[in-house]
Amino acid sequence: MKRILVVGAGGQIGTELVPHLQKVYGKENVVAGEVREDVVKKLSENCEAIKLDALDIQGYGEAIKKYKIDGIYNLVALLSAKGEMNPLLAWNINMGALLNSLNLAKEFKCALFTPSSIGAFGENTPHKGTPQDTVMRPNTIYGVCKVSGELLSDYYFHKFGVDTRSVRFPGIISNGCLPGGGTTDYAVEVFYEVFKNGKYTCTVPQDAYMDMLYMPDALEATTQLMEADPTKLIHRNSFNIANMSFTPEELFNAIKKRIPTFTWNYEIDPVKAAISASWPDYMDDSCARAEWGWNPKWDLDAMIDDMLKICKQKVEQGLY
Ligand code: AKB
């Protein structure tokens, strides 16, 4: 059985990936690493959780040795909008965690999953039906880290045989842990605000199309790719995956159809406006479908219904 370490386990993806991995590989085979003490405490209610700073290669390596890890999921990242506030910090954290993960995966012969993002693309990329292999000249430090990460991960695979795999995540919509510092965060926040205040102020332009994915599909993609037959993988780092693309206005109108009292307005953040304009409207994910069977289940309507149901309960229980 595989022994898994999730690094950066307390974030939006980690809080839901850990239980998903426990289901797939067994509870006793998953360790959650997280740098924030209070979050480690919370995680430890449901899994083996340890304090782990991905930038401390010695402590990171000791954890791999102690728990006999052979699969690493490196989720450490400062997201796109936050990265623009402190680009050097974003570079140091995102690339530092990746380089340590790559070098430890090489040393301890672990498979390594590190998510890339739609943020790896830029203004010069074709925005409609963005191909798997195309121009990648991002305008954000987050995107620069993602492209560098994709290249480095492929390099470690070809040069050292490290089993690196990755997907380019769209904005992920989820109801476990709130995202923080991303350009696509609005598509999560709105579902709570509907029930908290009945209205939402959006900082992304009303006509900005971006790819989105519901968390259950993101989790399935992650384990499906990591379990894929390596001989079928023509690409590795990183695969376009997509399932729905919408603008804020389209999402809010779809919510209003279900909750007629809901209202919204816009106070545009120029940084998020520039980022969203530079990202794909929708990607072509045919390589992921052909090479490892990517087959998402959740469309826009099913996702909205599920999010409204769960976020309503959470707000009523005072959890948000
Ligand atoms: C962000 O908005 O920065 C992230 C992403 C799409 O990578 N959610």
CATH of the domain at 144: 3.40.50.720
* 304: containing domain: 172-212+244-281+298-316
Residue 192 and residue 304 share a domain: yes
Average pLDDT in the 300-315 region?
97
Confidence of residue 179 (pLDDT cuts 50, 70, 90): confident
Residue 9 and residue 64 share a domain: yes
Residue 34 and residue 72 share a domain: yes
Do the domain assignments include residue 101?
A: yes
Do the domain assignments include residue 289?
A: no
pLDDT of 307 > 90? The answer is yes
pLDDT of 230 > 80? The answer is yes
pLDDT in tens, 265-287: 999 999 999 999 999 999 999 99
Closest ligand 1 atom, residue 83 Cα: 3
The protein residue with its alpha carbon nearest to ligand 1, atom 6, reads 171
Q: In what order do the strands lie in the sheet with 71-74?
A: 48-51, 30-34, 4-7, 71-74, 111-113, 164-165
Pairing status of strand 244-246 against strand 210-214: antiparallel
| Beta-carbon count within 10 A of 81 CB | 22
Residue 222 and residue 302 share a domain: no
Nearest to 251 by CA among 298, 192, 301, 196: 301
Overall domain count for the chain: 2
Nearest to 154 by CA among 104, 98, 108, 109: 98
| Beta-carbon count within 10 A of 313 CB | 12
138 CA to centre of ligand 1 in angstroms: 13
- The mean predicted confidence, pLDDT, of the chain is 97
261 CA to centre of ligand 1 in angstroms: 29
Residue 87 and residue 103 share a domain: yes
pLDDT in tens, 183-221: 999 999 999 999 999 999 999 999 999 999 999 999 999
Confidence of residue 79 (pLDDT cuts 50, 70, 90): very high
Catalytic, 142? Answer yes
Do the domain assignments include residue 18?
A: yes
Closest ligand 1 atom, residue 81 Cα: 3
Mutate-to-test residue for ligand 1 from 76, 150, 185, highest number of ligand atoms within 8 A of CB: 185
Return the minimum-mean-pLDDT range out of 15-19, 105-109, 314-318: 314-318
pLDDT of 1 > 80? The answer is no
68 CA to centre of ligand 1 in angstroms: 32
Nearest to 213 by CA among 16, 81, 7, 73: 16
pLDDT of 34 > 90? The answer is yes
For residue 198, give the CATH number of its domain. Answer: 3.90.25
Do the domain assignments include residue 176?
A: yes
- The alpha carbon torsion through 135, 138, 139, 141 (nearest 10 deg) reads -160
Name all residues whose Cβ lies below 6 A of ligand 1: 79-80, 117-119, 142, 169, 171, 179, 182-184
62 CA to centre of ligand 1 in angstroms: 31
Residue 312 and residue 179 share a domain: yes
Residue 39 and residue 92 share a domain: yes
Would you mind telling me the total number of residues written for the chain in this entry?
320
Confidence of residue 262 (pLDDT cuts 50, 70, 90): very high
Closest ligand 1 atom, residue 115 Cα: 7
Catalytic residue, chosen from 60, 67, 73, 142, is 142
The whole-number pLDDT of residue 319 equals 85
Nearest to 180 by CA among 39, 27, 18: 39
The whole-number pLDDT of residue 293 equals 97
- Cα-based angle 163, 144, 238 (whole degrees, multiple of 5): 30
Task: Enter the tokens of residue 217.
Answer: 């599909």
Residue 105 and residue 249 share a domain: no
Residue 191 and residue 62 share a domain: no
pLDDT of 236 > 80? The answer is yes
Average pLDDT in the 41-70 region?
97
Contacts 24+ apart (CB under 8 A), 120-128: 120/146, 120/147, 120/150, 120/168, 120/238, 121/278, 121/279, 121/280, 122/278, 123/277, 123/278, 125/280, 126/280, 127/279, 127/280, 127/281, 128/280, 128/281, 128/282
CB–CB of 146/97 below 8 Å? no
317 Cβ contact list (under 8 Å, min separation 6): none
Nearest to 245 by CA among 77, 130, 146, 109: 130
The protein residue with its alpha carbon nearest to ligand 1, atom 4, reads 182
Residue 116 and residue 260 share a domain: no
Nearest to 117 by CA among 181, 161, 23: 181
Do the domain assignments include residue 124?
A: yes
Residue 229 and residue 131 share a domain: yes
The whole-number pLDDT of residue 220 equals 98
Do the domain assignments include residue 157?
A: yes
The whole-number pLDDT of residue 242 equals 93
Do the domain assignments include residue 293?
A: no
